[in-house]
Structure 1
């Protein structure tokens, strides 16, 4: 168990403690604030990451990555507007893999395989299903607003069980192939129990914020800083923040504009998650490229 994970456990229990002293409205407000501050920040340096990747690759490949990034942003926006059901499905799959890749990046030190990708994706889907299971009515309402259709027949408990079986089968395959995975099984079972406790007791937005910030965004920021500047330090964090500030600030302005327009309407949550989806598609692609470079570097050292 790393120091980062110890920090994550402490902060998670602090977040759980907040649920006993703050109303649902305050939990939701605090959740949105920290997502705006740190969640958006962790994806605001994608262009700098592309520039760093470009130094290690040919110029043509670097330009293609930048072009793909811009295309994906517009693709996400157009897709959510024209084909919201397909867009939502893609968003869930991409987000699931992105979460699983970050949480299980230790597996990237081994040879990449379909089994690892499958496990990382099903792990992320399990996290999302676990969250949805404890907030079924609210999730149905948000999804219904995104796709413009009711989904009252969906039972997220069955989804959780189905994804759980897939996760177990993928995990069983990895136990036999990947020694790094075998060493991490028990501690990650503890993490899943912790996530379940938080998701059950916290408001949907606050529960999502705890996981998204503490267990995804902050570790991702640290990893990005190490990739960009060689190591993590306060000085390098300041450099990272300065480089991301313009894009981060513009994103905040955009979200603030949506909030002022729709703050008194339930549709704001749907718009908020749609906004996250539009920027998640290209961000996940950039991080995947960064992870592959880190994996190749670790193999070269060996």
Structure 2
């Protein structure tokens, strides 16, 4: 993964350089194209991942897995419709942990389960709120559309500062007590600086696309392929895409239907992000199960 991060840094700044050549409309088209391709693809093989985590003597049928998965997605959609404020907070929390967890903050030293959850969660909160901080006005508009009323303040500065202090405090403890974690911590602090530069110098959608595709979706796809097939090869990547195609297409059709029905309405952005959030909830649960399986094998 260290070799990939070198490519990711170069690719990120190359995208920032391209930023100066693209109009805002072009950026939006390219960004959504990437999100609809690699972004949705990285969560389209969840059913196969679930099957791969099940032991042969305790294997759940495909239909039952599909039923559970669809129910979780429908629950997410219903929650956004009935209690959008609660759904949005859950989405931010779940996404934050998922983003932090994808950074690979795993410890080769004994630490409490509480810190195993809190540390990547706080890291993910910092990533999200760095993006929110540099584009607070646009974020406020989108959130207002989602929850259907305007909040007095989003407390972006306060949350970012608080999470930053907590992250630095825990990091200082790890740095002081566990020498094996020091290089990893130095790298992650550098990556946060890279993310800040990306978010500061790009638009909301372009900055999010750079992070979401280069730093989250592609590394996740690589990890999933290695977990399912044992190694990453081009043939395994093709097999991964083939297995994911039906669910990737179903997600695109769902988004396309939303656009067709609500493209001229102000609520489309809210519906779009709500749909993405709904399919994120089961994906995060699947990835957590995968990571638990990997840790169990390596233990």
TM-score range, shorter chain: over 0.9
CA deviation vs aligned residue, 1:241-299 (integer Å, no higher than 9, x gap): 00000110111122122234444555333222111110111100000000011111122
Pick closer, same or farther for the CA change 1:266–1:38 going to 2, 3 Å.
Answer: farther
Equivalents in 2 of 1:143, 1:261: separation in Å?
21
Pick closer, same or farther for the CA change 1:273–1:173 going to 2, 3 Å.
Answer: farther
Matched, 1:20 2:20: yes
* C-alpha deviation, 1:77, in angstroms: 0.9
* Stretch of structure 1 that moved more, 25-34 or 118-127: 25-34
* C-alpha deviation, 1:164, in angstroms: 0.9
Equivalents in 1 of 2:293, 2:273: separation in Å?
30
* C-alpha deviation, 1:168, in angstroms: 1.4
In the TM superposition, 1:224-235 aligns within 5 A as: 224-235=224-235
Matched, 1:125 2:138: no
* C-alpha deviation, 1:58, in angstroms: 1.5
* Stretch of structure 1 that moved more, 252-261 or 124-133: 252-261
User: What number of residue pairs does the alignment pair up?
Assistant: 299
Equivalents in 2 of 1:47, 1:178: separation in Å?
37
The answer for the alignment partner of 1:11 in structure 2 is 11
* C-alpha deviation, 1:170, in angstroms: 2.6
Contact 1:68 1:282 in 2 (8 A): no
In the TM superposition, 1:174-193 aligns within 5 A as: 174-176=174-176, 178-193=178-193
Pick closer, same or farther for the CA change 1:258–1:71 going to 2, 3 Å.
Answer: closer
Equivalents in 2 of 1:98, 1:57: separation in Å?
29
The answer for the alignment partner of 2:158 in structure 1 is 158
Equivalents in 2 of 1:131, 1:61: separation in Å?
40
Equivalents in 2 of 1:295, 1:195: separation in Å?
28
In the TM superposition, 1:172-211 aligns within 5 A as: 172-176=172-176, 178-211=178-211
Contact 1:109 1:298 in 2 (8 A): no
Equivalents in 2 of 1:233, 1:88: separation in Å?
38
Listed as ranges, the gaps of 5+ residues in structure 2 are none
Equivalents in 2 of 1:102, 1:109: separation in Å?
19
* Stretch of structure 1 that moved more, 172-181 or 57-66: 57-66
The answer for the alignment partner of 2:241 in structure 1 is 241
Equivalents in 2 of 1:279, 1:136: separation in Å?
25
Matched, 1:59 2:59: yes
The answer for the alignment partner of 1:214 in structure 2 is 214
The answer for the alignment partner of 1:75 in structure 2 is 75
Listed as ranges, the gaps of 5+ residues in structure 1 are none
Contact 1:53 1:62 in 2 (8 A): no
Contact 1:130 1:160 in 2 (8 A): yes
Matched, 1:50 2:50: yes
Contact 1:115 1:174 in 2 (8 A): no
Contact 2:51 2:60 in 1 (8 A): no
Contact 2:47 2:65 in 1 (8 A): no
The answer for the alignment partner of 2:284 in structure 1 is 284
Contact 1:108 1:291 in 2 (8 A): no
Contact 2:225 2:237 in 1 (8 A): yes
* C-alpha deviation, 1:7, in angstroms: 1.1
Contact 2:49 2:286 in 1 (8 A): yes
Contact 2:84 2:146 in 1 (8 A): yes
Equivalents in 2 of 1:227, 1:130: separation in Å?
31
Pick closer, same or farther for the CA change 1:180–1:64 going to 2, 3 Å.
Answer: farther
After TM superposition, the score normalised by the length of structure 2 is 0.92
Contact 1:130 1:199 in 2 (8 A): yes
